[in-house]
Structure 1
Amino acid sequence: MSRYEGENMDQILPDLAEGEKEHILAKNRELPLRKKGNGKSIMINKFLTEIDGRLKLKPTDIEQYPTVLAEACEYLEPGKDREGYWIAENVLNQIKTKAILIFEILYPNCIGVFAFDNSSNHAIFAKDALVSKRMNLNSGGLQPKMHDTY
């Protein structure tokens, strides 16, 4: 990964061997919890890179790729009587339909490293994944069908 040094935060590119690609970290934006006010809340989920900040297309890229959404940001008005709640499927959809497409346009010769915090929404597994928490300790009960890992 690139480093940034000095007073002007100059970019120092990594030494890559022939055929290697630079890895770029795209962090899922996390905000500290704050006391709620009296108004309604809005949830914003976005990705940040050290190179460009928010993961979004540049104006020239927007013209060149009109079918790709301009920013990998999601907004949600959470609540039972509003848009629902942010769940793992929302994260997965955001990555598949926005973040990866935008990343590949901005950094075509790089590999994206998408990092997440420990939120339970980020721990999504396939419905048939072999997950020990889904297994029964004793015989009986509901046993989901899980795929073999070999």
Structure 2
Amino acid sequence: MTTELAQRMKAAALKLDGEQWQTRDGFSGIEVIVKGSMAKGRGCVSYQPVAAELADSKTAKAIALFNPANIKALVEALEARDKQIADSENRVGKQNRHVCELFDDNTALRQRIIELEEKLQTSDKLQDSAFRHGLQHGFSLGQTDNQAGFEQCMTAYSQKEKNNG
């Protein structure tokens, strides 16, 4: 149902004050009347007709079912559904944007991890170089009867191996 059609139907239903209709067996056939408009007096019955002299009860019941109150309720239900769909679409859009932001954050964090790992490798290389230099220095001290520097280097190296292993 298009929004335009729904609005026209709602406007027409409001013009009829949201009446409800019902069927009744009349003198000349089945009639559709405004619900609650029938009043019985002395020897007469008065009511507000909607459709008279209908050929069959199916048509009369269908006309009664398509009353302004039901049309108004149907259009309002459709409007509520449309609002719910729009709200859901907005919520999904916000969630999609949030997921994209999280993805961007994740990408940035992964890049930062790569940078830090590269710095760590550079730092390890510098420490290894310093260790080799110290080991050589300690070894040459050991050759000159100074074992203390050599033992310090060996102790430091063995501790480093334990921590990395």
Q: TM-score, normalised to structure 2's length?
A: 0.20
Question: Structure 1 or 2: larger strand share?
Answer: 1
Larger Rg: 2
Question: Structure 1 or 2: larger helix share?
Answer: 2
Q: TM-score, normalised to structure 1's length?
A: 0.21
